[in-house]
């Protein structure tokens, strides 16, 4: 049962790394209920072939090393990422100026995203105020007619 404990710990590490809970992991793996995850984490059952198969086909398999999950050997993540999300091998192959350019572009995208969110909020406020002003005019016109 000691090997199961290690797998349980690795599953908990994945849950913690992604900032999710056992229910979210279960749904991401295609389980209708989270009981399979709870049973493995609580050492009531060992993960089945179905569990590993679902994991290998899930979004998590893109970054989590399945060999690490099964055996504990190697690193949890397949490769470390650069600030722009590139894999470490791709990132290392770029020149310093290309790396700086990508970092600058990532910063620009982040600033623009924040600006879009701010403008969307302002637009929503404007629409809300405009709608309220229109309602007020109608009520005042109705009162003046009466």
**Segment 112-129, tens digit of pLDDT:** 888 888 888 899 888 888
Q: Does any domain span residue 42?
A: yes
User: Tokens for 12?
Assistant: 């908990």
More confident residue, 74 or 94: 74
Number of domains in the chain: 2
Q: Does any domain span residue 104?
A: yes
Inform me whether the pLDDT recorded for 101 exceeds 60: yes
Q: How do residues 29-79 score in pLDDT, each as one tens digit?
A: 999 999 999 999 999 999 999 999 999 999 888 889 999 999 888 889 987
Are 46 and 93 in a shared domain? Answer: no
Q: What is the model's pTM?
A: 0.52
CB atoms near residue 110 (< 10 Å): 10
Alpha carbon distances (Å) from 55 to 70, 80, 99: 11, 20, 33
Whole-angstrom Cα distance, residue 61 to residue 30? Answer: 14
């Amino acid at each position: 049962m000691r090997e199961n404990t290690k797998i349980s710990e690795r599953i908990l590490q994945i849950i913690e790394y992604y900032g999710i809970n056992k229910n979210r992991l279960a749904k991401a793996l295609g389980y209708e209920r989270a009981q399979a995850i709870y049973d493995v984490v609580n050492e009531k059952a060992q993960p089945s072939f179905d569990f590993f198969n679902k994991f290998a086909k899930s979004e998590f398999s893109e970054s989590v090393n399945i060999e690490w999950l099964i055996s504990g050997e190697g690193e949890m993540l397949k490769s470390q990422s650069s600030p722009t999300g590139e894999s470490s091998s791709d990132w290392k192959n770029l020149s310093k100026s290309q790396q700086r350019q990508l970092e600058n572009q990532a910063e620009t995208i982040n600033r623009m995203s924040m600006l879009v969110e701010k403008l969307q909020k302002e637009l929503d406020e404007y629409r809300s105020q405009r709608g309220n002003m229109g309602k007020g005019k109608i009520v005042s016109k109705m009162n003046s007619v009466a």
